[in-house]
Structure 1
Amino acid sequence: MPDVDAALRTRPYRPRLYGEPTVNAGLLEYIRQWMGPDCPADFEIDLTHGAVDAIDRLLCAYLVAGDKVAVENPCFIGIINILRTLGMQALGVSVDAEGMRADELEEALRKGARAVILTPRAHHPTGCSLSAERARALSQVLARHSDVLVIVDDHFALLSRREYHSVIPADAARWALVRSFSKALGPDIRVAALVSDARTSRQLRLRLAPGISWVSHLLQDLVEAGATRPESIELMALAREDYARRRHMLEQALREEGISFLAGGDGLNLWIPLQTDDQAVSLALAQRGWLVRHGSSLSVQGSIRGLRITISNLEPAQCAPLARDIRRSLA
């Protein structure tokens, strides 16, 4: 993780008061240059307390309890919990190695989904990323449903090894691209950049007004320093390669044991699809000392069987024993 103490020494803290710009000028310009090329024209920039907070606020800005939302299936548990808390109905859309399936998204929109939440890279829990072809197909579907709120959760952007492919139609009416700083700079740096159309930004700012919520300028200082200092950029590059190395070692061990997995993944998770009782397999692994999450707990509308393995703290020496224990647990 980037050195927070060094960042504070580089940029001494200056107190801000209500009435000042809500986003630091330097951070605003960084986000504009970073995210602008991936967005439709005439966008606005806001900050939230992480990607999950951004998604919560976006849904509350336009939808009400009972509304339907199209999401990936399996789905990130944080999104599942948001929808449950808000009383909204999740419509599951299957994913494969190229990301969310366009035909199933079309079906979910026909069923009345008023919003779609999708992950362009490092999908949690499967690790899949959108291909250019799949992104075009999804964009074509969304262009036929211009009244739908499109939320793109690019949470792993700073650490991803995959190219970003946009699904947001050029003439989209309601859209938002969310990128978190927490994955790269640390969980305490709970800040996400949110770029959206002007109307959506106005809706958000009603909920981000001083006195209701406040994205700390101290955190903004740390984000700006952490994202732009050469030392931090080098650390992020090392982290990117380290995660890829851990994934490669586990994939190699799984292949040697004859265990199928979703290849070509990115991010912090690897997905093993199963045809058997995944809860029983996860319990058997727990008895052998391994903690994994079974797919049925991440499913939307029907059980998706599989195992999510988090690779971020998995050491290379652990990969072969883990793969062997997975094979034994499947027996």
Structure 2
Amino acid sequence: MKFVLRKESNTPFYQQICVQIIQRIQSGMLMDEEQLPSLRTMAEDLNVSILTVRKAYKWLETKGYVFVQPGKGVYIRGKRQASSKIANPYDWQHSLAVNVQRSQYLINRQRRYYDFSQAVVYPRLLPNQFLADEMQNIVQKNRMILATYGPVQGDEELRLEITKYLKEYQGLHADPTKLVITSGAQQGIDLIAQTLLKPGDTVLVESPCYGAAIDVFTNKGINIIPIELDKQGVRSDLIDEVCQKKKPVLLYVNSSFHNPTGTLMSEKRRRELVELAEMYKFFIVEDDSFGEIYFDQITLPPPIKSFDRNGHVIYLKGFSKTIAPGIRVAAMLAEGPVFDWIYAVKSFMDIGSPLLVQKAILPILRTKRMKNHVEKLRTALQIRRDTAVEILSSLDDVVQFQVPQGGFNLWLTLTDSIDSITLLQKANEADINFLPGSACFVNEPKKKHIRISYSLLSDHDLKIGLEKLCKVIRDVQFE
């Protein structure tokens, strides 16, 4: 089993060892009662002292992750299994160094009926029939569209419509020749990482952060520095402190209704970030997937990109969340040489995003349908938010949260007596799922937080599911 220590990290070596072992336990890469390397073997492999490894194993033992058999070794804690256990032919794969610690919560899992884990809109609130009809019409009129690669940069008509959309909804003036269409915002993040980052580079992220973005940077061998949030968004004062010691390549942020916390970054903070990017010469990746979904008639600050004058901000606008998750379409706005670099990388990444889905959303953007759809979606999701807030407020002695002004999520902080992983296991038994907060942190998993997405269920199922979850939380509290 391979463990890797990042010498340049500020995290102590023993903590890095602990984090990697915990991640492997949670992802199933380390099985119950599997033996860990000896103190000497681990110390030699990592070129650290035996005392460092001993400290890591001792910490894991006190937290209940491992147990020690005197004279034999250190083992993963779990139910004892029969000695006649049949060898798994795939066990060799556990020795590979992979990073799936956050993705494990999002894929290949058993679906629960009351699913609060996915920031996805309830299907009946989306224009599915309209899109299906449009796709059918497009194919009937031009069957060759299925035999045609889309342009690397994206469909020209769509790029023109998106520039109009950004001006109307975000007040952002964009040049269609500087837009690149990607297969969702997630591909956009990966494309930026492929273009700008190399192993050992430094990236700043919000803490907590969108977990899939952390995984993208981790898998590139990047030094990730988490920056705390406050009520105005990511803390610019902490970014300034880091930049005086490190030279980050980029800062990744969710500016509007941050995933997972729902925080809306203030205009003052947005301006400060651009000033810091100019001063220390780094990029800001502004991921805006929830900006249209605001509640309570609030006025949104302009995008960070609107304050950018020198190409420091790369703006990502996702449409999958509000139109249809199955239509993976996003737009990236980048200016200066970075646009050419991104274009070149995309040309060999996928040759061009699917043309059919790009053409299918054109009628929505060109007519009042999008405006009407978004207004109805806001109303429906605000009702769901209010339902979630009302029900979860009954747990005010064990759960704390800020009421989001938009987006799809509630970020809950649990009392110290409740462990989010244990809570998830109990919730699964009650046919409930949510995202544990540990999926949203860079370093040692924090077990005091969970993310509840109120967007996926119907009004009826949302109410029942949350009431069931409240009971599970109470039961775990008194265990």
Q: TM-score, normalised by structure 2?
A: 0.63
What residue identity is the alignment partner of 2:385?
R
Select the residue among 127, 131, 137 that pairs with 1:4: 131
- RMSD across aligned positions (CA): 2.7
Q: Report what 2:33 is aligned to.
A: none
Task: Indicate how the Cα distance of structure 1 residues 211 and 58 shifts in structure 2: closer, same or farther if over 3 A, else same.
Answer: closer
Select the residue among 224, 249, 260 that pairs with 1:114: 249
Does 1:323 pair with 2:470?
Answer: yes
Q: Report what 1:92 is aligned to.
A: 226
Select the residue among 187, 197, 213 that pairs with 1:79: 213
The more displaced of 118-127 and 210-219 is 210-219
Q: Report what 2:387 is aligned to.
A: 249
Counterpart of 1:91 in 2: which secondary structure?
Answer: strand
What residue identity is the alignment partner of 1:197?
E
The more displaced of 12-21 and 51-60 is 12-21
Task: Indicate how the Cα distance of structure 1 residues 174 and 143 shifts in structure 2: closer, same or farther if over 3 A, else same.
Answer: closer
Does 1:263 pair with 2:414?
Answer: no
Q: Report what 1:136 is aligned to.
A: 271
Task: Indicate how the Cα distance of structure 1 residues 121 and 307 shifts in structure 2: closer, same or farther if over 3 A, else same.
Answer: same
Alpha-carbon offset, residue 137 of structure 1: 2.9
Counterpart of 1:151 in 2: which secondary structure?
Answer: strand
Alpha-carbon offset, residue 251 of structure 1: 0.6
Contact (CA 8 Å) 1:151, 1:177: kept in 2 or not? yes
CA distance in 1, matches of 2:156, 2:402: 42
How many pairs align?
330
Select the residue among 192, 206, 211 that pairs with 2:330: 192
Q: Report what 1:53 is aligned to.
A: 187
Select the residue among 172, 175, 182 that pairs with 1:38: 172
The more displaced of 63-72 and 229-238 is 229-238
Task: Indicate how the Cα distance of structure 1 residues 89 and 324 shifts in structure 2: closer, same or farther if over 3 A, else same.
Answer: same
Q: Report what 2:111 is aligned to.
A: none
The more displaced of 16-25 and 62-71 is 16-25
Task: Indicate how the Cα distance of structure 1 residues 272 and 179 shifts in structure 2: closer, same or farther if over 3 A, else same.
Answer: same
CA distance in 2, matches of 1:19, 1:252: 47
Select the residue among 237, 249, 253 that pairs with 2:375: 237
What residue identity is the alignment partner of 1:80?
I
Alpha-carbon offset, residue 140 of structure 1: 3.0
Q: Report what 2:442 is aligned to.
A: 300
Counterpart of 1:29 in 2: which secondary structure?
Answer: helix
Alpha-carbon offset, residue 54 of structure 1: 0.7
Select the residue among 252, 262, 265 that pairs with 1:127: 262
CA distance in 2, matches of 1:165, 1:218: 31
Does 1:273 pair with 2:413?
Answer: yes
| 1:6-52: CA deviation from partner (whole Å, max 9, x where unpaired) | 32366565446569684333322222223354368897111111111
Superposition map of 1:155-174 within 5 A: 155-161=289-295, 163-168=300-305, 169-174=307-312
Contact (CA 8 Å) 2:311, 2:336: kept in 1 or not? no
Alpha-carbon offset, residue 115 of structure 1: 0.7
Q: Report what 1:312 is aligned to.
A: 455
Counterpart of 2:304 in 1: which secondary structure?
Answer: coil
CA distance in 1, matches of 2:382, 2:150: 44
Counterpart of 2:334 in 1: which secondary structure?
Answer: strand
Alpha-carbon offset, residue 265 of structure 1: 4.4
Q: Report what 1:28 is aligned to.
A: 159
Contact (CA 8 Å) 2:155, 2:355: kept in 1 or not? yes
Structure exhibiting the larger radius of gyration computed from Cα positions = 2
Select the residue among 344, 348, 371 that pairs with 1:206: 344
Q: Report what 2:198 is aligned to.
A: 64
Counterpart of 2:433 in 1: which secondary structure?
Answer: coil
Q: TM-score, normalised by structure 1?
A: 0.88
| 1:38-73: CA deviation from partner (whole Å, max 9, x where unpaired) | 368897111111111111111221221111110111
| 1:258-294: CA deviation from partner (whole Å, max 9, x where unpaired) | 2321222422221002352332333333333321222
Counterpart of 1:117 in 2: which secondary structure?
Answer: strand
Counterpart of 2:400 in 1: which secondary structure?
Answer: coil
Task: Indicate how the Cα distance of structure 1 residues 42 and 265 shifts in structure 2: closer, same or farther if over 3 A, else same.
Answer: same
CA distance in 2, matches of 1:243, 1:98: 23
Alpha-carbon offset, residue 200 of structure 1: 1.6
Task: Indicate how the Cα distance of structure 1 residues 195 and 29 shifts in structure 2: closer, same or farther if over 3 A, else same.
Answer: same
Contact (CA 8 Å) 2:204, 2:226: kept in 1 or not? yes
CA distance in 2, matches of 1:42, 1:23: 10
Q: Report what 2:36 is aligned to.
A: none
Counterpart of 1:273 in 2: which secondary structure?
Answer: strand
